[in-house]
Amino acid sequence: MAIPKYHEIYKEILIALSDGDIHSIDSVRNSVADQKGVTASERTILLDSGTRPVFDDRIGWARTYLKAAGLVDYPRRGFTRITEEGKSVLTANPTLIDNAFLRKYESFCEFNLREKPNASATMKSVINDTQDNTTPTERMGIAFAEINSSLGDEILSEIMSQSPRFFEILVVKLLVKMGYGGALGDNAGQVTPISGDDGIDGFIREDKLGFSNIYIQAKRWNIERTVNRPDIQAFVGAIANKAGKGLFITTASFSDGAKQCARENHVVLIDGNRLTTLMIEYGIGVSTTQTYEIKKLDSDFFTD
């Protein structure tokens, strides 16, 4: 029997989790393999890249998409649990749970388009189209964006399992990696003491010579939370008498009022999605597993 595609095992994953308990990824894999008749030999077949088994990869993506739709969640790293909505779906017992079914959930559709704010209308329709009518180049671009989107989700989950202090240190490391502080080395930036920080979690030198500081508010808040105007106003008050600029960075999101207040007071905002994008771009908390080179015809070579 062929190894089932990722969209062919959504229902089996929900069944594996139907008791409502927290299950390890291995437990889910074993249950789905039993339900779908995937043999031990088939489970050892690797992707063309040789990086991991095909079956494991498809289980991983199926979990990602079910989580995006809100049918499962990740209570802690490496574990999965069915949500109340997931239980409702199982109770309704639909004949087929596939990508078309998951598109009923707004969060699933948003997940597919996240990290692609500049995509054209054509590209967005391609992403949502049940027919694969894209060119290889378009498919590569879409796949790359989806992989990074899923990775961003994993990064946020991992950050939320760490301490607020860890997050503050992470933020300073990211800014140093982005080039702030220049050649100042260990003096490029620092995290303020846990007590008595007066609403400032750290600072980073803005330039190579260290003439001015960027003061940081780093909040590892629930990703479902919204940072509101009063939060930004409090930070603005904390840096009011300091010669420097303000950066408010969080795992959550910002309300329109918070964004307006930040513009009025020249404070830069970075939400959870932007944070993970920057971490991926600058290699903080991630590692490269494989690289593809896309080549094109060199017309000059064939010109006399």
Of residues 174 and 191, more confidently modeled: 174
Q: What is d(CA 167, CA 281) in angstroms, rounded to the nearest whole number?
A: 18
pLDDT at 77 > cutoff 80: no
Does residue 20 have a pLDDT over 80?
yes
Within 10 Å of residue 249's Cβ, how many Cβ atoms? 25
Architecture of domain 164-282: 3-Layer(aba) Sandwich (3.40)
Instruction: CATH 1.10.10 in the chain: give the residue spans.
Output: 1-109
Percent of the chain with pLDDT over 90: 51
Give Cα 224 to chain centroid, integer Å: 14
pLDDT interval class at 57 (50, 70, 90): confident
* pTM reported for the whole predicted model: 0.67
Pick the CATH number of 1-109 from 1.20.120, 1.10.10, 1.25.40, 1.10.238: 1.10.10
Q: Three-state SS for 208?
A: coil
Kind and range of the H or E element at 23? strand 23-24
Q: What is the rounded average pLDDT for all residues in the chain?
A: 84
What average pLDDT does range 106-121 have in this prediction? 66
Distance, CA of 197 to CA of 199 (rounded, Å): 5
Chain CA centroid to CA 118, Å? 18
What average pLDDT score do residues 235-253 get?
90
Give the number of C-alpha atoms closer than 13 A to the C-alpha of residue 2, restricted to the C-beta side.
Answer: 4
pLDDT in tens, 183-229: 445 555 666 654 445 678 888 877 666 667 889 999 999 988 999 99
Of the CA atoms within 13 Å of residue 209, those in its CB half-sphere come to 1
Whether 12 and 27 have beta carbons less than 8 Å apart is answered as: no
Give CATH 3.40.1350.10 domain extents, the chain. 164-282
Query: What is the predicted pLDDT for the residue at 154?
Result: 85
